[in-house]
Chain A
Amino acid sequence: MSDIEDTSADPTADTAADSSRAAAAGSDGAPEAGPRGRPRAADRDVLIEAAGLRKVHAARGAGAPTEAVAGIDFTVRRGEAFGFLGPNGAGKSTTMRMIGCVSPVSGGRLTVLGMDAAAQGPAIRARIGSVPQDDTLDTELTVRENLLVYGRYFGLTRAVIKERTERLLDFARLADKAGEQVEALSGGMRRRLTIARSLINQPEILLLDEPTTGLDPQARHLLWERLFRLKSQGVTLLLTTHYMDEAEQLCDRLVVMDHGLIVAEGTPQELIRRHCTREVLELRFAPPERPGEQAGERGDEKGADQHGDRRARGPAEPAPEPAVASAGPAARPTGSGRATDPDVTALADLGDRVEVLPDRVLLYADDGEAALAAVHRRGIQPLTALVRRAGLEDVFLTLTGRTLVD
């Protein structure tokens, strides 16, 4: 417990990582020999470092090769819980697979635990734990046998595996299931067993690809609590998720990915501050009174400069582009002449941003109550009104759009 390293609280963490990256680049992949004479300790704390990391999947059949990861940079430091957020197909899992050395890097540089992922895969894998998206447990074997087989894969002796198995099953709250076939376990138990299994080699980094997808709330909360415990014991956690509450609960720092690129990076609070207002006012109107009709599309994007940034960098993105263009008129009266438009016009200046959804209007404002009062003052009577704090989900939708990806 004394070994908690909260690098995220260190305001210099990012700059230190940046300069170590520069040093590494300058001296051809030898961070400890940095020209600026940075202390070795600082560099040793960088466990994962990606620079211009790319992954291109070869063409299948007649199709063109697809670029799943299109050149990303990030640094993960010891003891951090680092999250990859993004819609399906954003490149999160592919990135995780490259870090886990089960997917060769197509371009750029990836260093894990000071080793080159392209050349030292087995040595890196020996020191990381992996919780894949799909359960790869053997359902015909017992809980204990699964741990034994997996421990053997790391060349551990039977005695060591046996001793660790007891502790890990306690940790995963599966001690009373040790002799049972995995077939009989619930989804939550299987997930916990997969996590227990991934710890058999006492990894320094734990990779979790959508660890709580498909679990019920109880199972999720238990899992979060266990992961938090691991983190407090010094294990560096890397996770992908599309649950925003999960990211807020677990991640010290995270990146949002979209179309193979990182579109935002920071602590959850930073991201909310940077890409969203403090609060969100949700207004629901009776169906005929509903302002605008741009079903399922994004609202105005006033002040979201990061968004424009992403567009400039990203590859061709046919889907979200027209959404922005067509959603514009919803907040500007000049675009169309529908009877309900005055409502929207009346709202447009009350927040930093207004988003019109099929069933409600979202008003992004730092003071939601004040905005609601203003709405009432203008004689607009929504069916229901809700003021809530802005969350990562708002950031996520702002950055990656509301259009369904698959």
Chain B
Amino acid sequence: MTAALPTPGTTPEAAPGTTPATAPAPDPAPDRPTPLDTWVARVPALREFGYWMRRYRRIWRGSVVISVVNPLLFLAALGGGLGKLVDAHHSGHLAGTPYLDFLAPGLLAASAMQNAFVEGAFPVFQSARAQGNYPAAAATAMRPGDILAGHLLFVVFRILTSGALFLAVTVAFGVTGPGRALLTLGPVLLTGTAFAMPLVAWSITVERPSRINGVYRFVLMPLYMFSGTFFPASQLPGALRTVAACTPLYQGVELTRHTALGTAGTAASAVHTGYLLTLTLTGIVLARRGYTRRLHR
């Protein structure tokens, strides 16, 4: 009968010198720890990352299709179709850049923002609820910071993989070469994290899901439309132009576009990078505080 159940004893992480209630039955662990086992034991964040990857395994095919088909449709319709019209009128604002080349990096940056929202807002809210993953993980040897780090790792993974697929499409359309595309992955990641980290920090405090929808409609959509994604922000009237230039998506679009097209200036790139990095780090600091407050309250 006792064989049916592990006897209470010490886990690998238990403090030394404590005696278990029953005689410790040495665990018949026939296999040596794999390298993955060792990493998981050493870096707790990998355990949470593993959880999200396990969930993702069920839907990865669909997500890959979406990540490829979406840019394909947008670039074909807007870049190809609408672009012909734009290019025929020789817009001075584009400075001779074909519309497709202008549009593709803008869309890429905007899709990084969207991925940040999709992975960083609702899943965090959902996980923090009473029946969610976070309370389960928080009851174990994990710290709130480990849970946060693991989930952020997964968000970064999603931003990077989606961005890479998008870039593959832009390479196929001849917008960029493969080398420059690889370089552009940096700005894409930075744009994504500049949105993801603050969104995660905010979502852990959210009590009602309707707020998340509100942010999508009233913050993300206007950004999407007016941050130089579809047309140069310089076309906006004076005051709006200044507002647009201050938004994180504008900064991300500019950095991504100039990197992809090879027109990046050092000073401007440094400003964009600094801006996005500040948002990312601020988000992480706030999220750490928010996770501890929420999961250990």
Q: Is the CB of B22 within 8 A of A3?
A: yes
- For B2, B22, B140, the residue with the greatest tally of chain A CB atoms inside 10 Å of its CB is B140
Q: Which of A121, A157, A167 contacts B4 (CB 8 A)?
A: A167
Which listed residue, A79, A132, A160, touches B21 by the CB 8 Å rule? A79
Contacting residues, chain B, for A44 (C-beta < 8 A):
19
Closest to A78 in B: B21
Let me know if B140 and A123 touch, CB within 8 A. Answer: no
Query: For the complex, what is the distance from the CA of A154 to the CA of B140, rounded to whole Å?
Result: 6
Q: Which of B29, B36, B55 contacts A140 (CB 8 A)?
A: B55
Chain B interface extent, by class? 35 or more
Complex formed: what's the CA distance from A11 to B23 in Å? 26
Given known A234-B8, A234-B22, contact A155–B47 (CB-CB < 8 A):
yes
Q: How far is the CB of B277 from chain A (nearest CB, A)?
A: 30
Query: Are the C-beta atoms of A153 and B8 separated by less than 8 Å?
Result: no
**Contacts A113-B18, A155-B12, A171-B4 given: A132-B34 contact, CB under 8 Å?**
no
Chain B residue at minimal CB-CB distance from A196: B5
Interface bits B1-43 vs A (CB < 8 Å: 1, else 0): 1111111111111110011111100011111011011001100
In contact, B6 and A202 (Cβ under 8 angstroms): yes
Instruction: Indicate if the CB atoms of B139 and A132 lie closer than 8 Å.
Output: yes
Which 3 pairs show the lowest CB-CB distances between chains A and B? A234-B21, A136-B136, A153-B140
- In the complex, A110 Cα to B41 Cα: how many Å? 28
Rounded to whole Å, the gap between the CB of A47 and the closest CB of chain B is: 9
- Is there an interface contact between B30 and A159, defined as CB atoms closer than 8 Å? yes
9 A-B residue pairs with Cβ-Cβ distance under 8 Å, sorted by A, are: A102-B135, A126-B140, A137-B136, A141-B54, A155-B44, A157-B41, A201-B11, A204-B9, A229-B1
Of the listed stretches A144-152, A244-252, A365-373, name the one at the interface; the rest are far from the partner chain.
A144-152
Could you say which residues of chain B place their CB within 8 Å of the CB of A104? Answer: 296-297
Task: Flag whether A134 is at the interface (Cβ < 8 A).
Answer: yes
B295 close to A (CB within 8 Å): yes
- Cα A115 to Cα B11 with chains together (Å): 16
Contacts of B137 in A (CB 8 A): 153
- Does A122 count as interface, using CB distance less than 8 angstroms? yes
Please tell me if A340 contacts chain B, counting CB pairs below 8 Å: no
- Which residues from 50 to 108 on chain A have a C-beta closer than 8 Å to any C-beta of chain B? 57, 78-79, 100, 102-104
- State whether A127 and B11 are in contact (beta carbons under 8 Å apart), knowing that A158-B37, A233-B22, A236-B21 are contacts in the complex: yes
Min distance, Cβ A289 to any Cβ of chain B, angstroms: 48
**Does A342 make an interface contact (CB < 8 A)?**
no
Q: Which of A183-233 contact B (CB under 8 A)?
A: 199, 201-204, 229-230, 233
B130 interface residue per 8 A CB criterion: yes
Q: Is the CB of B141 within 8 A of A153?
A: yes
Q: Which A residues contact B (CB, under 8 angstroms)?
A: 1, 3, 5, 44, 57, 78-79, 100, 102-104, 113-115, 121-123, 125-127, 130, 132-138, 140-141, 145, 148-150, 152-160, 163-164, 167-168, 170-171, 199, 201-204, 229-230, 233-236
Q: Which of A127, A133, A155, A234 contacts B7 (CB 8 A)?
A: A234
Q: A134-B130, A167-B5 are in contact. Are A160 and B141 (CB under 8 A)?
A: no
B interface list, Cβ under 8 A from A: 1-15, 18-23, 27-31, 33-34, 36-37, 40-41, 44, 47-48, 50-51, 54-55, 58, 130-133, 135-143, 295-297
Contact pick for B8, options A115, A152, A233, CB 8 Å: A233
Shortest Cβ gap from A21 to chain B (Å):
20
Report the Cα distance A253→B168, complex, angstroms: 66
In the bound complex, CA of A141 to CA of B141 (Å): 21
* Distance (whole angstroms) from the CB of A334 to the closest CB of chain B: 51
CA distance A79 to B20 in the complex (A): 11
Q: A3-B22, A154-B11, A158-B34 are in contact. Are A136 and B135 (CB under 8 A)?
A: yes
Bound together, the chains give a CA A133 to CA B135 distance in angstroms of 11
In the complex, are the beta carbons of A204 and B21 less than 8 A apart? yes
Known contacts A155-B44, A202-B8: does B50 contact A136 (CB below 8 Å)?
Answer: no
Q: Which residues of B contact A121 (CB under 8 A)?
A: 143, 296
Interface pair A171/B5, CB less than 8 Å apart? yes
Contact B141 A122 (CB under 8 A): yes
Would B12 and A156 count as touching, CB distance under 8 A?
yes
Give chain B residues whose Cβ lies under 8 Å from the Cβ of A149: 47, 50-51, 54
Contact for A150 among B15, B30, B136, CB less than 8 A: B136
What residues of chain A lie closer than 8 Å to B58, measured between beta carbons? 140
Contact between chains at B18 and A152 (CB < 8 Å): no
Distance to closest chain A CB from B205 (angstroms): 12
Contact A122 B143 (CB under 8 A): yes
| Contact call B8/A235, Cβ cutoff below 8 A | yes
A202 touches B10 (CB 8 A): yes
> A155 to B50, Cβ gap below 8 A?
no
Q: Which of B9, B19, B54, B133: most chain A Cβ within 10 A? A: B54
Q: B36 — nearest CB in chain A belongs to which residue?
A: A158
Most A CB within 10 A of own CB, among B7, B13, B30, B137: B13
- Are B40 and A155 within 8 A (Cβ)? yes
Q: How far is the CB of A101 from chain B (nearest CB, A)?
A: 8
Alpha-carbon distance A160/B27, docked complex (angstroms): 8
Q: How far is the CA of A126 from the CA of B137 in the complex (A)?
A: 11
Task: Return chain A residues, CB-CB under 8 Å to B19.
Answer: 44
Q: Assess the A199–B5 pair: CB atoms within 8 A.
A: yes
Nearest residue in B to A115 (C-beta to C-beta)? B15
Q: Are B11 and A157 in contact (CB under 8 A)?
A: no
Residues in A with CB closer than 8 Å to B295 are: 102
